[in-house]
Structures are given as C-alpha cells and as structure tokens.
C-alpha cells in the first residue's frame, strides 16, 4: 500500500540497470551517501546504514585520553592507567549507546503544504521509534563541498526532538525559490545523545516532490479577456447582491456564508448566485503568451487567485491542460498545480494525490 | 528565477548555524552547578601540591560562579583575572620550580575556564580537563584512600558529561534517572577497562622525565636528625613499610630496622657521612642465624633502604655502605619491593681506619662543657667501656628523666641543657646525648636512625612512621660495634611492646584504640591493593600472559588481545544495552494483549495500524469461528481491565488481571490447535 499525501507528488522511480556490485551494495548498505537513490517512506534507520564518528568533543576527549595514557604508561602509574582505560571503556559504551539511540528510528511520513515560489514550505516529518529516543536531529544534508546557494542554506535548517513510540512530528523549513515539482532534498537524521561524544547519522532521500505554485504577480493588470456571457470585466468581491440563500452545506466556503441572514434565521445559510450576470471566466494562455514564460505563469496565478477570492467560476486553458469551469479549493489547487507543472514533460510526472486535509 | 535572485532569497532566509545546532545556547543553571561541583572535586585532591594563594582564589571563584550560575564574566573581566592568576603563578613558581608548577597551571586553567563557561562546548572542554586533573593526582601517589575519591569524582564528571552533552529531558536540580544511567554506563565500561589494564603493553622504564619529578613529598626519616625530628614522625601512623619473614620472626624488641647512620654532629644536628664507596663484599658470620625477609617500602624520597639490624648483603641494585646501611643510587619514589638478609648481632670486628676514628670521636669545639666534665670524671673512675655504658644507662634510669614526644625546646649547649635541666626528651634526645657522652669519654660512637618494632598484621608485619626510632652504636675495641639503646633505660616498654604502648593519653584528639584498629584493618586492604594493583608491572603482566599460555615477547599477542577485548567487550555492551532498553511502561492488561497479538500474528493475522484491540479481536473471532466465545470473553474482560478498572470487581471471578492472563493463555493454546478458516482476503 502506498501513501499519497496532500500536495506531494510521487514520481515513478526509474532505475537504470546498474552493475551487479552496485546492486549488491544497495542491498547491503541501503542509503549510503554514495548511493543517491530515492526511497519510499517509511524508512527505518537500519544498523547497516548508520554512520558513526566522534564529534569535536569526542576528538578532544580522545586527545586528552591519549595524553593521559602516555603519562601513565611512562611512569607505570597504575591508578592513572586504570582511570584512562576505564574512560576508554566508557567511550566504547557511549559509542554503542549513541548508535543504539538512532537505530530503529523510523521516518514514517513526510508532508508539506504546497506553497508559492518565494515562500518557505514547512516540511513535516513523522518519526517513530520502538522506545523513546531523545535528541534526534533532523536536517537537510550538509555537504562538505557546498555546491550552490541552495545547499549552503539548507544546511542551516535543523530541528531536534525526542522521538516517542507514539510518533513525533518535526518541522523543517524548506525555502522554495522556484515553481514546479521540487524533489525533497537529501535529509540527514543524526543524534549525539547521550554524551555528545559521537555523532551517529543516516542519509535519506525520500522519493517525494513538493509542489511549488508560481509566485502570484504583484500588481498584475486586471483580466480583460471575455467571459462566456460576453462581459469583458468582472467585479471584485462577492458583494451583497446575491440572488438567494439556501441552508449551509458542509463544504461551502466561509465567505459564502450570509452572516446577517444566518443571525436572523438562527441557522447558517449560504448565499447563492445564479450565473446569469457573473458568468464564467476563462483564463487563456494565449492572452499572456507574449510574456516570458515565468511571468506569464505568475500573472495567470494572480488572476486565478483573484477569481477564487471573488467567488467566480473560472476555468484555465493551458497548452495540454483544460479545466472545467468551477470554483472552490479543489479547483483552485488543480489550476495552480497545472501552472506549477507547466513545461514538465507529461509522461514523466505522475500526479497522484489525495485532496483530504493532512492529518497533522 | 536568476541565479542571483535565488542567492538573495537564501540570504534573506539565512539563520545562524550555531543557534540552530544548539551549541551556542547557554547551559541551564542546574547543569552549571553540577559541572562546577565535578570540577571542584577533581581539583580538591591536589590540595597538597598547589600553592597557598590558590585556595582562597579558587574558593572565591567557585563560590561566585555557583552564586551567579547563569552569568559568566565578560571577556575583559576574564582577561583581568587570568592576568592576576598568571602573575601569582609566576611569583610562586620562583620559590619552587618543578613538579607542582604543571599542576598549578592545569588547575588554574580549569578554575579560570569556569569563569567564561556558558555553552555546551565550554562544558566538554572543562570536563575533559577535569578528567586530566584527576589523573595527574595519581602521579603524586596511588594510595588506596584515593580510590573512593576517584570513583566518586569520576561518577560526578560523567554525570556532568551526560547532563550537559546529552539531550535528556528534565529540569530538576537532580535527575535520578540520569544519575542511574551514568552509573550503569560506568559499570559497563569497567570490564573492558580492567582487561585493558591487565593486557595493555607496559613500558619497563620511563621514556622521558625522571620519576622523582612526581615523587611523593612525604615526611619520613632523612639523612639528618635534629631534636624533635623523630617526635614529629611519632604522630604519623601512615605505613613506612611492610615485612614478610621467611622464618619465624624474631622477638619484637630485636627488630631494629636500620636506616641512615649519622656520624657527624654540629651541636644540634646529626648528619650522615657521605661515603663514596660501598663496602666490599663480606661473608656472613657462621655462628649467627641469617634471617631472610621481603620488604615493601612506601616511597620516602631518599636513597636508603631500611634493613633489619645488620645486613649480610645488599638487595639487587643497592649497595651496602661501610656504616652498614643500605642505599640505592636513586630516591625511592614509588613502591619498592626487595628481599633482605640480615643477622641480629654484629658478627664482624670491623677495622677502624684512623680517619674514621677521628670522625667518630669529633665533637663541636667548646660546646656542652658540663657533660664533658662529667664524662672525663666518669671515665677516670671506670676505665672499662662496658661498665661505663652501664653506668650511664643506670644514671638515665635512676635520675628523673622523662620520655615524652613533646619535649621542651633546646638551645645552645643542647646536650648540657637536656642532661641537667630539662631531662625530658624523645628517643633522638637520648640517642644523641648518649653518643655525645661516649665521644667525650673517648669511645667512637654514632647515632643510628631507623624503625623499631612493628605490628604483626596477620599475613605481614606493618612498620609505621610512628615506629621511627634512634639509637646508638658504640665501638668496642676487640669486639666491634655494639648497639646501645638508651631509650630502654628510660622507657623500657617502648622497645618491648611498641611505640604506642607507653602512652597513657592519646597523642591527639582522634587517637583512640578503635581508630588505630580501623587504620590497621585499612592497612590490610592497602597491602592487598599494593600487592595486586599498584605493583602490577611488566613482570606481573608477563607472568599473567604466560599462565594463559601466551607469548608476551610477541607484539602480535598484544594486538590480538586488544582486538579481541574490544570486540568481545563491544558485543557484550551492545547486547546488554539493546536488551535492557527502557521501554515505556505498559499496562499489565496491555502486556497480556501484546503477547496474544504476537501469537495471532504468528498464525497469519497481523494487526493493522488502524485497528484498535477490539476490532482486531473481532476479526480474530471471524478467523477462528470455533473460538468465538473464548475470544469474545477475553475481549470483554480486557476492555473492562483496560478502560474501566473500577468495574472489574463487579464480577468476582474476574477480579484480578491474573484471570485475564489465564484466559489469554488458554486462548493461545487453543489457537495452536484450532485450524483457522481460509484467510479472508486482505482487510
């Protein structure tokens, strides 16, 4: 059973036939850094994929232990040697304790609401463990050789939590500068608990994409195209000039509720418009095709959002995409997604998502 | 978006790495408190090695830091204090450059670091320093009484480590759970530590530095003696040496342990003559029994090795000097083991060279005229030396002489003052006065310092610093050296039954019989400690490896042993930690249900993530139609126990969770036998 989450996209995972040794490595050591393969969640921190190294504190302690060892050995100081070896034993115990603190931590889900380009998405990771694990850090992978601004900045975001058996959610900010289906960057999950001497970590690249809508154009010119009733403009705002009211139904947008009337009638009522003077706005690609692509998408995005806010019926025509005239949350998302994915090769992206609200 | 735009965007979203990694956040107050306590505990054992100014400064700094837990000093303030401390170190270093300087610098570093300690990073630097400080204490001495302090301080430092570096939750001033965890980790570390202690290759001799750099600055017998120097030792019950006799030991009043022999007198102080060449080998006398014994000598910082009265030959690596004392060519700075052979009486008629005779008769000119007058008179009356000796001892015995460890001070003609005015002294006063008297009488004589007696502590004889003693040796022409102990004339019980026996009142406020008994039993443990731990060395390691059938000359042996220890220890610790993982506390009913669930899973009915226990059990009932009744009964009882514990008493037969357990057991057995209906497809 695969899980599909709100506004995240799963792409089909195509693996070119790799040499046998590579496949063997994949099998034995899944998710090692050299293998940049994406994985389907949930992923558990199996012992074979855990890295462990001394932290800066660990190296410092190691250095002082070596000094202690040399001094004790030189004078054959047995109590000094005993203390030194005891501390070495402690280091070994702490190494294993740190390792065990990360082992079996499971990344169960990854969820994120779609954002517009230029905003920061909040990526929610659900972690689970068979018993409480304090001090589990989650962050975007920090590369030694940082390739670009994205890598540099991502390294600065991290979150820490105590992972409980019932599940713990941590939130990682992910700046999204560009629209489109953005692959989730590689994650590092690490811990230094219980003594900060060692860092145990795993790398993980979930096979998921974040959907980033185009940025709505600021101060976009008003829509001047025709609608199907012949009007060339549309008025902003739902206004008070509605045609009738009907009892509130689950799913009606809040802004459609006629509050004054509801107060009078002692029950919630929704406004009802009849299409005769409002019409259906059709946003057409041809209207903006003279602009650069990104700006065109930006303008369409701004128009669609305005139309939705105004409570109009609207449809969108893009090359390779045509929507029915409608309004509402789901329709808005459908249109914005089409704009976000404009230019993506259709065969490559399989959009499969549920419109149910994320259960966070 | 252009590349530059992307960059700008990220810069606006930039957050400090340090703040997100948590290393720069300040330590909470209770972390700081434990850290300070642990560091103070690591410094305290150095109290003897640190200069006087250190303690008030350290007390001030620690108290201030403890008072203002959250607030470190500003950078320039730290700089100011550091400069002051540095100046103090420089000044105090001029008085005694050397071994304590390093410790002073190290302790000062730790002390000053507490002033600016604020973050996790500061904390680990400080803790590593603490461990190092603790270790350097053992370079000064490895006595057993340090062991409890080592254990306690290690525990505290490790607790501070886990507290400040881990991510354990809890803001209480003391977290018992974390403390227990620390103790557990330390216990787990012990086996590997101990095995490493036994098998790690040792150095047979130091590569750098002389051992005396870290020798023990212990008071004890020295190469000189002035009035009061042995009385000081009398207050010190710490062990001087331990002896194992190969034969039945001689009577206690014959146990004269010879230390430095003092031949030169300047009026107040007796000094040893600096002999250049050792005595050439001499054969033991046939008519006296030779006694063999093993000695474990506590470090005393001098070259001499105490031996029973007249050594037959020096132990290996040491020399028998012309005055019959034994010394080695470097100070005793660590526990020393050697085997001695001695005879109880002087068998030899030594030849006295003219220069030796001159030295043994010389006295400071013009001092002690009354004594000189008396001895010249007596010498005229009794020409026989033996009779003269007896007369002097008789005189000590009959006149009003007192034996005390707190004699009045003497000045100028010290012997005259002692013999005719104060008449109160300790063994060194009597030995000194007697030797001076003999020299005035024209008889070559000298003072011997050492220990007298000892205490039979079951498997060994314990000689303490308080057993320190001084006596005289007189040269008799035709006979040789004769030991004369003038103390016996004044206080016969001192020699007959030990140093403490003649005491009516205690030496100090804590001097009671039971305290002495306690010290004695402590020394038994100390003896074992020395024997098994402190004295473990290359030789002992070689023996151990040989008894295991391993070749200690081969480096590969050590490599293998270390690898095997690390691996076996690691696997052991891993298994232990993994098995004793703290799981969240389960309700007893839940535990029973979990066991049942495992059984059902084994039989092909795993519980899905969305299923509650009730739904799951209903599905199980569908799967095993024959057991429906049983499953339903269990389900009802389980729900009662889990969700309405106050109701379960309504039906008396199901009152306790043991009923639930028996039901679950019966069900588990039944499932084994009962065939399930074919799987009803994926749920």
Q: Which residue in B24, B56, B219, B36 sits closest to B126, CA to CA? A: B36
Which residues on neighbouring strands pair with residue B281, listed in sequence order?
none
Residue A56: closest C-alpha in chain B? B121
> Can you give the pLDDT at residue B20?
38
Q: Are B13 and A192 in contact (CB < 8 Å)?
A: no
Q: For testing the chain B interface, which of A79, A142, A217, A297 should be mutated: the one with the most B CBs within 10 Å? A: A79
- On the question of pLDDT at A128 being above 80, the answer is yes
Contact list, B197 vs chain A (CB under 8 Å): 78, 81-82, 85
pLDDT at A351: 39
What pLDDT does residue A15 have? 47
Residue from the list A75, A89, A160 with its beta carbon closest to the beta carbon of B193: A89
CB B272 within 8 A of CB B488: no
Residue of B nearest to A74 (CA): B206
**Chain A residues within an 8 Å CB radius of B16:** 156
Least confident of A34-43, B127-136, B627-636: A34-43
- How many Å is the maximal CA-CA distance in chain A? 101
From the list A79, A80, A93, which residue is nearest B188 (CB)? A93
Confidence tier at B668 by pLDDT (50, 70, 90): confident
Is the pLDDT higher at B474 or at B647? B474
Q: What pLDDT sits at residue A227?
A: 53
Q: Check: CB of residue B225 under 8 Å from CB of residue B449.
A: yes
Structure tokens belonging to residue B562: 């270390």
| Neighbour-count burial for B41-51, b at 16+ CB within 10 Å, e otherwise | bbbbbbeebbb
Q: Which residues of B touch A185 (CB under 8 A)?
A: none
Whole-number Å distance between alpha carbons of A241 and A248: 18
- Considering only A164-168, B243-247, B470-474, which range has the smallest mean pLDDT? A164-168
Mean pLDDT rounded to a whole number for chain B: 80
Q: Are B270 and B262 in contact (CB under 8 A)?
A: yes
**Residues in A touching B534 (Cβ below 8 Å):** 78-79
A34-45 pLDDT per residue, tens = 556 777 778 888
pLDDT score recorded for residue B682: 44
- Segments making up each domain of chain A, as ranges: 32-211, 214-237+279-360, 239-272
- Mean pLDDT (chain A) is 76
CA distance A155 to chain B (A): 8
- Any idea what the Cα angle at residue A53 is, between residues A50 and A59, rounded to 5°? 165
Residue of A nearest to B211 (CA): A75
- Distance (Å, whole) CA B153 – CA B490: 49
| Nearest chain A CA: its distance from B187 CA (Å) | 9
pLDDT of residue B532: 75
Q: With CB atoms and an 8 Å threshold, state whether B13 touches A120.
A: yes
Q: Which of A140, A118, A121 is nearest to A6 (CA)?
A: A121
Nearest CA distance, A17 vs chain B (angstrom)? 33
Task: State the average pLDDT over residues A41-56.
Answer: 86
Nearest CB to B138; choose among A61, A80, A149? A80
Chain A residues near residue B579 by CB distance under 8 angstroms: none
pLDDT surpasses 60 at B505: no
What is the structure's pLDDT at B42? 92
Higher pLDDT, B459 or B446: B446
pLDDT of residue B576: 86
Q: Which residues of A touch B134 (CB under 8 A)?
A: 83
Report CB contact under 8 Å: A152, B209: no
* Residue A6: pLDDT band with limits 50, 70, 90: very low
Whether pLDDT at A275 is above 50: no
Taking CA atoms, what residue in A is nearest to B146?
Answer: A79
Residue of B nearest to A137 (CA): B21
- Residues of chain A positioned with their CB less than 8 A from the CB of B136: 71, 80
- B536 vs B541: CA distance, rounded Å: 7
Judge: B189–A74 Cβ closer than 8 Å, yes or no: no
pLDDT for A64-112, tens place per residue? 999 999 988 887 788 889 999 999 999 999 999 999 999 889 998 888 8
Cα–Cα distances in Å, from A49 out to A31, A103, A338, B104, B468? 6, 9, 38, 47, 68
Taking an 8 Å cut-off on Cβ atoms, the answer to whether A160 and B167 are in contact is yes
Neighbours of B472 (CB within 10 A): 24
Average pLDDT over residues B196-208: 78
Tell me the chain B residues in contact with residue A68 when contact means C-beta distances shorter than 8 Å: 131-132, 135
- Chain B residue numbers touching A73 (CB-CB < 8 A): 202-203
Between A184 and B209, the more confident residue is A184
Alpha-carbon distance A95 to nearest alpha carbon in chain B (angstroms): 9
pLDDT at A356: 29
Residues in A closer than 8 angstroms to B5, CB to CB, are 177
B211 backbone dihedrals φ, ψ, rounded to 5° = -60, -30
Most confidently modeled range among A249-253, B603-607, B616-620:
B616-620
Contacts with B352 (C-beta within 8 Å, 6 or more apart), sequence order: B360, B444, B475
> Considering chain B, what percentage of its residues have pLDDT values greater than 70?
85
**Nearest C-alpha in A relative to B163:** A195
Per-range mean pLDDT, top range of A347-356, B17-26, B597-606, B650-659: B597-606
Helices (H), B225-353: 229-234
Please tell me the distance from the alpha carbon of residue B484 to that of residue B390, in angstroms, as a whole number.
Answer: 10
At residue B447, the pLDDT reads 92
> How confident is the model over B32-63, as pLDDT tens digits?
889 999 999 999 988 877 888 888 888 888 88
Instruction: Please list every residue in chain B whose beta carbon sits closer than 8 Å to the beta carbon of residue A97.
Output: 185, 577
CB contact under 8 A, A89 and B189: yes
pLDDT at A326: 81
Report CA-CA distances (Å) from B259 to A161, B25, B449.
Answer: 69, 62, 5
Question: Under an 8 A CB cutoff, do B206 and A64 touch?
Answer: no
pLDDT at B213: 47
Residue A240 has pLDDT above 60, yes or no: no
Among A90, A159, A165, most B C-beta atoms within 10 A, so best to mutate, is A90
- What is the DSSP code (8-state) at residue B649? T
Res B535 pLDDT > 80: no
What does residue B114 show for φ and ψ, rounded to 5 degrees? Answer: -60, -30
A149:B5 CB<8 A = no
Q: How far is CA B79 from CA A8, B54, B75, B112, B441, in A?
A: 56, 17, 6, 9, 70
Q: Which residue of B has its CA nearest to A134?
A: B167
Q: Which of B189, B197, B577 sits opposite A81 (nearest CB)?
A: B197
- The reported pLDDT for the residue numbered A254 is 74
- Is residue A236 predicted with pLDDT exceeding 50? no
Identify the pLDDT of residue B39. 93
Q: Note whether A85 and B200 are within 8 A (CB).
A: yes
Pairing of strands A280-284, A313-318: parallel
* Min Cα separation B167/chain A (Å): 5
Contact residues, chain A, for B161 at CB < 8 Å: 195-196
What pLDDT sits at residue B80? 86
Reported residue count of chain B is 683
Question: Which residues in chain B are contacts of A52 at CB distance < 8 A?
Answer: none
Instruction: State residue B21's pLDDT score.
Output: 42
Cross-chain residue pair B9–A175, CB shorter than 8 Å: yes
Q: What is the pLDDT of residues B311-338, one digit of tens each?
A: 888 888 888 888 888 988 888 877 788 9
CA terminus-to-terminus distance, chain B = 49
Considering only the beta carbons, identify the residue of A80, A84, A194 that sits closest to B168.
Answer: A194
Rounded alpha-carbon distances, angstroms, from residue B146 to A90, A191, B42, B150, B634? 21, 36, 12, 6, 61
Instruction: Report pLDDT for B154.
Output: 94
pLDDT tens column, B385-414:
889 999 998 898 888 888 877 778 887 788
- Burial, B492: exposed, middle or buried (Cβ in 10 Å; 0-12, 13-18, 19+)? middle
Instruction: Collect all residues of chain B within an 8 Å Cβ-Cβ radius of residue A80.
Output: 135-136, 138-139
* C-beta atoms of A92 and B150 within 8 A: no
**Spatial CB neighbours of B554, under 8 Å, sequence gap ≥ 6:** none
Confidence of residue A230 (pLDDT cuts 50, 70, 90): very low
B507: closest CA of chain A, how far (Å): 33
CA distance A48 to chain B (A): 15
Lowest mean pLDDT among A158-162, A170-174, A236-240: A236-240
CB-nearest to A118 from B9, B147, B203 is B9
pLDDT at B22: 44
Query: B259-308 pLDDT, tens per residue?
Result: 999 988 888 889 888 888 887 766 666 667 888 999 988 878 788 899 98
pLDDT value, residue B98: 62
Mean pLDDT over B558-583 rounds to 85
Per-residue model confidence as pLDDT tens digits over B2-21: 556 555 555 554 443 333 34
Task: Please indicate whether, in this complex, the C-beta atoms of B185 and A90 are within 8 angstroms of each other.
Answer: yes
What does the pLDDT average to over A316-344? 82
> What pLDDT, on the 0 to 100 scale, is given for residue B24?
56
- All structural domains of chain B with their residue ranges: 20-171, 175-204+538-578, 354-443+481-506, 588-673
């Amino acid at each position: 059973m695969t899980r599909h989450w709100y506004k995240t996209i799963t792409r089909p995972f195509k693996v070119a036939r790799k040499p046998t040794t590579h496949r063997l490595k994949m099998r034995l050591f899944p998710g090692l850094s050299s293998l940049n393969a994406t994985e389907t969640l949930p992923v558990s921190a199996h012992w074979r994929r855990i890295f462990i190294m001394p932290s800066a504190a660990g190296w410092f302690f190691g250095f002082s232990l070596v000094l202690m060892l040399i001094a004790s050995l030189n004078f054959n100081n047995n109590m000094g040697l005993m203390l030194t070896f005891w501390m070495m034993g402690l280091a070994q115990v702490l190494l294993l304790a740190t390792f065990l603190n990360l082992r079996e931590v499971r990344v169960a889900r990854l969820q994120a609401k779609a954002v517009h380009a230029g905003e920061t998405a909040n990526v929610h990771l659900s972690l689970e463990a068979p018993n409480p694990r304090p001090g589990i850090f989650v962050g975007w992978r920090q590369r030694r050789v940082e390739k670009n601004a994205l890598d540099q900045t991502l390294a600065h975001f991290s979150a820490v939590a105590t992972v409980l058996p019932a599940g713990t959610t941590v939130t990682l900010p992910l700046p999204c500068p560009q629209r489109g289906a953005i692959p989730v960057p590689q994650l590092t999950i690490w811990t230094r608990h219980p003594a900060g001497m060692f860092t145990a970590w795993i790398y993980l690249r979930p096979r998921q994409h974040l959907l980033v809508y185009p940025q709505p154009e600021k101060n976009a010119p008003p829509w001047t195209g025709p609608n199907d009733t012949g009007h060339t403009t549309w008025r902003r705002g739902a206004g008070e000039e509605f045609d009738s009211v009907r009892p509130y139904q689950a799913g009606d947008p809040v802004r459609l509720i006629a509050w004054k009337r509801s107060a009078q009638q002692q029950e919630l009522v929704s406004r009802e418009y009849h299409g005769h003077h409002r019409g259906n706005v059709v946003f057409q690609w041809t209207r903006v095709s003279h602009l650069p692509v990104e700006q065109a998408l930006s303008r369409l995005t701004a128009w669609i959002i305005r139309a939705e806010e105004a409570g109009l019926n609207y449809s969108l025509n893009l090359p390779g995409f045509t929507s029915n005239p409608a309004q509402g949350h789901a329709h808005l998302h459908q249109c914005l997604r089409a704009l976000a994915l404009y230019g993506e090769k259709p065969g490559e992206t399989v959009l499969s998502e549920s419109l149910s609200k994320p259960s966070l | 978006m252009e590349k530059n735009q992307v960059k700008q965007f990220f810069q606006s979203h930039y957050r400090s790495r340090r703040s997100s990694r948590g290393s720069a956040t300040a330590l909470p107050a209770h972390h700081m408190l434990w850290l300070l306590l642990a560091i103070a505990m690591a410094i305290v054992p150095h109290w003897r090695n640190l200069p006087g100014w250190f303690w008030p400064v350290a007390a001030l700094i620690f108290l201030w830091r403890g008072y203002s837990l959250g607030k470190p000093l500003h950078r320039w303030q730290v700089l100011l204090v550091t400069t002051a401390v540095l100046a103090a170190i420089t000044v105090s270093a001029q008085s005694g450059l050397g071994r304590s300087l390093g410790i002073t610098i190290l302790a000062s570093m730790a002390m000053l670091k507490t002033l600016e300690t604020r973050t996790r990073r500061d904390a680990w630097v400080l803790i590593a320093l603490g461990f190092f400080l603790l270790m350097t204490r053992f370079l000064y001495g490895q006595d057993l009484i340090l062991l409890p302090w080592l254990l306690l301080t290690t525990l505290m430092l490790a607790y501070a480590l886990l507290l400040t570096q881990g991510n354990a939750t809890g803001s209480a001033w003391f977290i018992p759970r974390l403390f227990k965890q620390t103790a557990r980790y330390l216990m787990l570390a012990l086996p590997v530590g101990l095995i490493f202690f036994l098998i790690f290759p040792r150095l047979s001799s130091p590569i750098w530095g002389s051992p005396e750099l870290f020798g023990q600055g212990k008071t004890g017998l020295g190469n000189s003696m002035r009035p009061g120097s042995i009385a000081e030792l009398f207050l010190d019950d710490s062990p001087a040496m331990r002896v194992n006799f190969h034969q039945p030991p001689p009577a206690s009043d014959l146990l004269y342990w010879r230390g430095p022999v003092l031949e030169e007198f300047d009026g107040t102080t007796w000094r040893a003559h600096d002999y250049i060449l050792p005595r050439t080998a001499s054969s033991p006398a046939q008519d006296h029994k030779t006694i063999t014994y093993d000695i474990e000598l506590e470090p005393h910082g001098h070259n001499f090795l105490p031996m029973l009265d007249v050594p037959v030959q020096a132990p290996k690596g040491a020399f028998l000097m012309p005055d019959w004392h034994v010394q080695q060519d470097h100070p005793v700075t660590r526990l020393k083991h050697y085997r001695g052979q001695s005879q109880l009486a002087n068998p030899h008629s030594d030849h006295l060279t003219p220069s030796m005779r001159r030295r043994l008769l010389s006295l400071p000119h013009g001092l002690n005229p009354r004594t000189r007058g008396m001895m010249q008179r007596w010498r005229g009356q009794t020409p026989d030396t033996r009779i003269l000796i007896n007369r002097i001892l008789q005189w000590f015995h009959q006149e009003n002489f007192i034996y005390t460890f707190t004699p009045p001070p003497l000045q100028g003609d010290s012997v005259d003052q002692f013999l005719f005015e104060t008449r109160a002294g300790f063994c060194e006063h009597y030995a000194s006065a007697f030797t001076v008297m003999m020299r005035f009488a024209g008889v070559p004589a000298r003072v011997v310092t050492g220990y007298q007696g000892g205490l039979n502590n079951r498997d060994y004889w314990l000689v303490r610093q308080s057993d320190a003693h001084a006596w005289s040796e007189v040269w008799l022409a035709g006979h040789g050296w004769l030991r004369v102990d003038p103390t016996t004339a004044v206080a016969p019980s001192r020699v007959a039954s030990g140093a403490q026996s003649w005491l009516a009142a205690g030496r100090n406020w804590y001097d009671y019989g039971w305290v002495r008994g306690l010290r004695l039993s402590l020394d038994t443990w100390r003896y074992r400690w020395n024997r098994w731990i402190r004295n473990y060395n290359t030789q002992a390691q070689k023996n151990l490896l040989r008894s295991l059938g391993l070749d200690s000359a081969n480096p590969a042996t050590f490599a293998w042993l270390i690898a095997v220890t690390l691996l076996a220890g690691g696997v052991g610790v891993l298994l232990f930690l993994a098995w004793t993982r703290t799981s969240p506390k389960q309700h007893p009913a839940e535990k029973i249900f979990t066991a049942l669930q495992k059984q059902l899973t084994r039989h092909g009915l795993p519980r899905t993530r969305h299923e509650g226990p009730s739904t799951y059990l209903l599905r199980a009932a569908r799967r095993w139609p024959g057991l429906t009744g049983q499953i339903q009964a269990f389900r009802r009882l389980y729900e009662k126990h889990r969700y309405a514990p106050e109701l379960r008493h309504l039906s008396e037969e199901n009152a306790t969770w043991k009923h639930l357990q028996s039901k679950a057991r019966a069900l588990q057995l039944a499932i084994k036998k009962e065939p399930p209906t074919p799987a009803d497809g994926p749920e």
